[in-house]
Amino acid sequence: MATRARLGVGFALLLLIAAPWVLPTAWLLVLENALVLALFAAATNLLVGWTGLVSFGQAAFYGIGAYTVALAWLHGIAPFWLAFPAAPLIAGLVALLTGAIALRARKLYFALLTLAFSELFYVLAEQLYDITNGANGIFGAMVPDLLVSPRPGFYFTLAVVTAALALLHRICHSPFGLALQAIRERRVRAEALGLAVAHHELAAFTLSGAFCGLAGALYVVHDQTAYPELLDWVKSGEPVIVAVIGGISSFAGPLWGALFYQIAHDALVVLTRDWQLVLGALLLLVVLFRPGGIVSLFPGREEG
Amino acid sequence: METLLDVAGLVKRFGGFAAVDGVSFEVAEGSIHAVIGPNGAGKSTLFRLLTGFHAPTAGTIRLAGRDIAGLAPHRIARLGLAQSFQITTVFPKLSVREQVAFALIAQSPTPWRMLGGLVRVLGGQGVMAEVETLLAEVGLAEVAERRAEALSHGDQRALDVALALATRPRLLLLDEPTAGMSPFETERMVAMIQRLAGARRLTVLFSEHDMDVVFSISERITVIHRGRVIAEGDAASVQADPEVAEVYLGSAA
């Protein structure tokens, strides 16, 4: 990271650490939501922006992360502190299995297969009533009391998201991350140079799924609930839209996108029921006129 | 000289059409060997068979004694056969340095490489010194920070060759290395090929339309027409071959 970027990250962290002492609780919850969304979008962007694989099924792993925590509580399988770290592992495992199938197809067909898996898990969550409470979802005291109160809850989320983003950043800028970019740029050439492209794509898909699962588990910390809509394709579209608005070709893009999206969403839902219409128009404007997203508006900002 | 590449009875059919129809030839280790032929002779298909992007219908391809026919492209690359493409296929949005580093990293064996890649950062690896050496060798040291898409055509071709060299090949396959180049760029590319073959003791197999280039640097020339070998030999014997003359005159229009 360049010195300027380091300073920026340090400053942002300071602001976030100070936030619980200056912001009203309602705002704090908006920020907490934005943090979770930022992780969800950055994890998705490992596929979309870095590897060039557009997945419309990342909510499946987000939802699986959320349900891991909720189901462990509902059925008394494991305490929170065991279920929470298990969430990204289980989501990653499911991503490994579904990715092995979805990645057999390319481009549009890959996107459609990921969407199909997302819907499959959605239907399972809704239909397996005895296990999941079906469409009613799972509510209750599934999160330790400590984390339910606003400040510790916020700091927990901040700590987990920061650590996860640091790890993701490291992955994106490692030789492995470079290999993913080469696959995005020219898959055939990457293969001709001796790269086992299929293995790398599957590894990226698995990692992305695990981080999406972690974001889903954090959602439960925030809302103490899990319900089938967390897994459906509308939810899957969210991190893709956030990443595109923020800028998919830089690591910071999805993070800015998440902050912008969350604030815009929370402001718009108060004003109009058709907030998605506004969002859609905005997305269209970004794609047509600013394909680099929000980060491309910052002067002199380097990519990556 | 030892035989590095031994192609025998190679056939590729697309439906009823045999694009490569029983091709056999040998490439000696350390030589510069050209494959020529009119448009549609089957050169590109032949190269795609050698590099694994097509599976042959019949025949064998031995690289240093090992049959590589039908292996996946990345396996063949690992075994020491690298290629530079006819249409330049560098990585447009990566910097020159980044993509040469990638090409070097892609050589270490999977899956350990992948795991190593997760925990090690780029600069920490010994590859960076090798990157600089390679860039100097192909004359791209000064544009190392630039994205490939911002390079001139000649520089893109040089980068393409650098990527192929990064695989530390025994055999370098160049598909029309001077296609679309200015006379100056052509001269530069020819000099580079000769320098590399000499310094790296590299075996070079290339296809080419520019006959001046072919006859000036090739030690051996294989002529292909309609998927078959019609002549083979050094520059003088190929130039004197009546069948070759007929094929080229006949297709000159």
A112-132 confidence digits (pLDDT tens)? 999 999 999 999 999 999 899
Torsion of CA B52, B55, B58, B60, to 10 degrees: 20
CB contacts of B117 in chain A (<8 Å) are: 174-177, 179
Residue A257 in any domain: the answer is: no
Residue A62 in any domain: the answer is: yes
CB contacts of B99 in chain A (<8 Å) are: 182
User: In chain A, which residues have pLDDT < 70?
Assistant: 1, 300-304
At residue B112, does pLDDT exceed 60? Answer: no
DSSP 3-state of A248: coil
Residue A263 in any domain: the answer is: no
Residue of B47, B93, B130 to mutate when probing chain A, most A C-beta within 10 A: B93
- Give the one of A171, A185, A191 whose C-beta lies nearest to B93's C-beta: A185
Torsion sign (Cα): B50, B55, B58, B62: positive
A191 → chain B, closest CA residue: B74
Burial class (CB in 10 A: 0-12, 13-18, 19+), A26: exposed
Residue A10 in any domain: the answer is: no
CB contacts of A249 in chain B (<8 Å) are: 93
CB contacts of A177 in chain B (<8 Å) are: 117
Averaged pLDDT for residues B56-61: 95
Residue A130 in any domain: the answer is: yes
How high does pLDDT run on average in chain B?
A: 87
Confidence at residue A202, expressed as pLDDT on a 0 to 100 scale:
96
Taking the CA of residue B237 and the nearest CA in chain A, the distance in Å comes to 35
Q: Taking Cα atoms as reference points, which of B198, B244, B245 lies closest to residue B219?
A: B198
The answer, yes or no, to whether ipTM is higher than 0.85 is no
Domains plus CATH for chain B?
Answer: 3-250 (3.40.50.300)
A175 → chain B, closest CA residue: B117
Cβ of B121 within 8 Å of Cβ of A186? The answer is: no
| Assigned token pair, A276 | 């998605």
Enumerate chain A positions whose Cβ falls within 8 A of a Cβ in B. Answer: 170-171, 173-179, 181-182, 185-186, 188-197, 199-200, 203, 249
Confidence at residue A303, expressed as pLDDT on a 0 to 100 scale:
45
- Give the one of B111, B117, B125 whose C-beta lies nearest to A179's C-beta: B117
Gap between the Cα atoms of A184 and B233, Å rounded: 43
At residue B59, does pLDDT exceed 90? Answer: yes
At residue B83, does pLDDT exceed 90? Answer: no
pLDDT: is B86 or A248 the higher one?
Answer: A248
A70-85 confidence digits (pLDDT tens)? 999 999 999 999 999 9
Confidence at residue B252, expressed as pLDDT on a 0 to 100 scale:
47
Residue A1 in any domain: the answer is: no
Averaged pLDDT for residues B189-198: 88
Torsion of CA B100, B101, B106, B112, to 10 degrees: 180
Q: Are B115 and B99 in contact (CB under 8 A)?
A: no
- Give the one of A179, A185, A195 whose C-beta lies nearest to B92's C-beta: A185
- Using left for φ > 0, alpha for ψ between -120 and 50, and beta otherwise, residue B67 falls in beta
- Using left for φ > 0, alpha for ψ between -120 and 50, and beta otherwise, residue B26 falls in beta
A and B: number of Cβ contacts within 8 A: 103
pLDDT: is B102 or A43 the higher one?
Answer: A43
Confidence at residue B47, expressed as pLDDT on a 0 to 100 scale:
93
Confidence at residue B114, expressed as pLDDT on a 0 to 100 scale:
62
Gap between the Cα atoms of A193 and B122, Å rounded: 18
Residue A137 in any domain: the answer is: yes
Averaged pLDDT for residues B204-229: 92
Cβ–Cβ contact B229 with A under 8 A: no
| pLDDT confidence band for B253 (50 / 70 / 90) | very low
Residue A213 in any domain: the answer is: yes
B52 → chain A, closest CA residue: A192
- Give the one of A178, A192, A196 whose C-beta lies nearest to B110's C-beta: A196
Taking the CA of residue A30 and the nearest CA in chain B, the distance in Å comes to 32
Cβ of B83 within 8 Å of Cβ of A192? The answer is: yes
B114 → chain A, closest CA residue: A176
**Domain of residue A198, residue span:** 27-232
Residue of B114, B131, B146, B149 to mutate when probing chain A, most A C-beta within 10 A: B114
Cβ of B114 within 8 Å of Cβ of A203? The answer is: yes
Confidence at residue B121, expressed as pLDDT on a 0 to 100 scale:
54
At residue B135, does pLDDT exceed 70? Answer: yes
Cβ–Cβ contact B85 with A under 8 A: yes
Cβ–Cβ contact B90 with A under 8 A: yes
| DSSP codes of every residue in chain B | --EEEEEEEEEEEETTEEEEEEEEEEEETT-EEEEE-STTSSHHHHHHHHHTSS--SEEEEEETTEE-TT--HHHHHHTTEEEE-SS----TTSBHHHHHHHHHHTTSPTTHHHHHHHHS-GGGSTHHHHHHHHHHHTT-GGGTTSBGGGS-HHHHHHHHHHHHHHT--SEEEEESTTTT--HHHHHHHHHHHHHHHHHTT-EEEEE-S-HHHHHHH-SEEEEEETTEEEEEE-HHHHHH-HHHHHHHHHT--
- The domain tally of chain A equals 1
Q: Are A134 and A128 in contact (CB under 8 A)?
A: yes
